Amino acid sequence: MEIAFYNGEFLQEVDEKIIPIQERGHQFGDGVYEVVRVYNNKPFMLEEHLDRFQKSAEAILLQLPYTRQELTEIIDQGVKRSQEKNVDVYFQVTRGIAPRLHLFPNTKAVFSMTIKPSRPIDPAKKESGVAVLLLEDERWKNCYIKSLNLLPNVIAKQHAASRGCDEAILVKDGSITEGSSSNLFVIKDGTIYTTPATKGILHGITRLAVFQLAEKMELPIKEQHFTEEFLLQADEAFITSTTQEILPINKVDEFEIPTHYTITKKLQNEFLKLTK
C-alpha cells in the first residue's frame, strides 16, 4: 500500500491532486527534502536523516512546522499504515502557499510525505557493478543542502542514461565532486578515498555509514580531492545512496575499472548486516 501525507493529514489516495498552484515548492523549488529507507519496519539511520533535514531547512531560513518528535511520529504512523516491512519514505517541507513573489511570505511551512514499497536493487548491479559517465558539475555552490532544486542533477542523470550508464559522476575545476544522486568512493592500494564533505557535495547518510563501517573493519579512509585520472587508475570504485546502498563501478566512460571488488564486497556484506 502507498501512503501520502500533506499539511497535517493522511490522504485517501496517494495520487490525489492537492497541491495548490501558489505552492512555493512548485513555483520556486523553495524547500528541502529527505529520503529514508525502512528495513523490516525500522527506518535506517533516521536520526542522521532528521539532522540533515534540520540543517537543510536552517540553511534556507525555513522553520520546520513540526518538532523532531512529531516528525518521527508521523513517519512511524505512515510506515504502519503502509502495512509494508520495507518502504522508501520521501518527505519534504516548503515555504508554503502564497502569491508568487521572490521575497519570503509570512506563511506557515508545509510538510508532505509519501511512503512506497522500496524499489528493489538489481542484484546483477550489486554483483557486477554499474557504468558511469563523467560530466561537468554545473550545480550551485551549496550542494550540502538537500534542496528541491534538482534540475542540474536530473539533466546529468538523463545524459548518463542516454549513453547507457547508470550514473553521472560530476567534475568541477578538475576535481571529482560526487554523482548526480550518489556519493563516490575510490579504493587505491587498500585505502578508501572520497571527496571531503564541503558545501560542494551532499553529506550522504550512506556515505556516513561507509565511514562507520570502515572504522569498524579497520580500513583506512581519507577525505581528499582527486582527479578523473585518479578514478581511472582505481583498484576499485563504488557509489553510495539511500536507495542504491553500495554499488561497485565497472566502467567510467569507455574505461574499464577492475571488477574483483574485494573491499567493496566486504563493505556490502557489512552494510547488509546493519540493515538486517
* Whole-number Å distance between alpha carbons of 89 and 172: 31
Task: Provide Rg for the chain, Cα atoms.
Answer: 19
DSSP state of 196: -
DSSP 36-102: EEEETTEETTHHHHHHHHHHHHHHTT---SS-HHHHHHHHHHHHHHHT-SSEEEEEEEE--B--S-S
**Which residues lie below 8 Å from residue 8, measured CB to CB, with a gap of 6+?**
111
Catalytic residues: 146
Q: Within a 10 A sphere around the Cβ of 143, how many other Cβ atoms? A: 21
Beta strands in the chain (DSSP E): 3-6, 9-10, 31-39, 42-43, 87-94, 110-117, 130-136, 167-172, 175-179, 183-188, 191-194, 221-223, 236-241, 245-252, 255-256
The amino acid that residue 109 corresponds to is: A
